[in-house]
């Protein structure tokens, strides 16, 4: 069973690595990272490189395709879109994480289907005739889409359970010790401070070069006043 994980310039690393970590243990799995050209591909921070072992032309019949997202996936890249359309004809599962669903949608694969994406980009799915939903993992036929970034882990585990059974997926979850207890309860727009949500809605996804988290915290602090600044500083100290 070949699992192809697509890479492209400025992809988000966890979008690709989360599913890799959870799908790689599947019995008989052969995971291959693919890109337009084989070789190193930079992530959206510009500081992490993942090597694509094969080019798109070399991977023609994967059983599972995983499309990670990024701050600005190129929905007009015909080389990538044509590859997605071609391999989708024979895949068992076609999946995405975060804004990767925009690439599937741009390829025409999600037309009339339910799908999810990063919360900031859900409305963009409508432009491609997709029915957006804020669910963390969405199954619609053989198409599986995951919401923002970390949800790729959930998607991989859920799909692993569908393929190899609950016990296998539970074993994977146990061995990666996936038992999240985040230090903050701000992982969705429904739970995060309203000012922070509005700041991102107004300004979009921050450029990931350098310390995006620090810049986001500073912007939030400026908008929320001294109290917000103190909270942002505390968050930066915690991450350090």
Structure tokens at 131: 């029915």
Is the alpha carbon torsion for 71, 155, 142, 65 positive or negative? positive
3-state secondary structure of 27: coil
Separation of alpha carbons 80 and 72, rounded Å: 14
Which H or E element spans position 167? helix 166-175
Separation of alpha carbons 206 and 76, rounded Å: 22
Radius of gyration of the chain (CA): 18
84 is known as an active-site residue: no
Q: What is the DSSP letter of 43?
A: B
**Cα–Cα separations (whole angstroms), residue 63 to 29, 116, 146, 237:** 10, 22, 18, 44
Separation of alpha carbons 43 and 104, rounded Å: 19
Catalytic residue among 41, 98, 110, 172: 98
Question: Active-site residues: which are they?
Answer: 98
């Amino acid at each position: 069973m070949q699992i192809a994980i697509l890479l492209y310039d400025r992809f988000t690393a966890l979008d690709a690595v989360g599913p890799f970590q959870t799908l790689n243990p599947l019995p008989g799995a052969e995971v291959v990272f693919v890109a337009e050209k084989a070789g190193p591909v930079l992530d959206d921070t510009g500081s992490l490189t993942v090597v694509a072992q094969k080019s798109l032309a070399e991977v023609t019949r994967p059983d599972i395709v995983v499309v990670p997202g990024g701050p600005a996936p190129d929905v007009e890249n015909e080389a990538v879109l044509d590859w997605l359309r071609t391999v989708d004809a024979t895949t068992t599962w076609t999946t995405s994480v975060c804004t990767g669903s925009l690439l599937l949608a741009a390829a025409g694969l999600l037309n009339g289907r339910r799908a999810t994406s990063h919360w900031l980009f859900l409305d963009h799915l409508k432009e491609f005739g997709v029915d957006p939903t804020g669910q963390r993992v969405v199954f619609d036929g053989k198409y599986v889409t995951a919401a923002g970034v970390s949800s790729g882990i959930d998607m991989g585990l859920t799909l692993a359970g569908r393929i190899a059974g609950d016990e296998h997926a539970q074993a994977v979850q146990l061995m990666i010790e996936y038992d999240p207890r985040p230090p903050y309860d701000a992982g969705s727009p429904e739970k995060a401070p309203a000012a922070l949500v509005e700041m991102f809605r107004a300004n979009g996804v921050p450029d990931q070069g350098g310390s995006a988290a620090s810049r986001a915290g500073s912007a939030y602090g400026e908008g929320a006043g001294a109290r917000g600044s103190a909270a942002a500083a505390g968050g930066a100290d915690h991450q350090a």
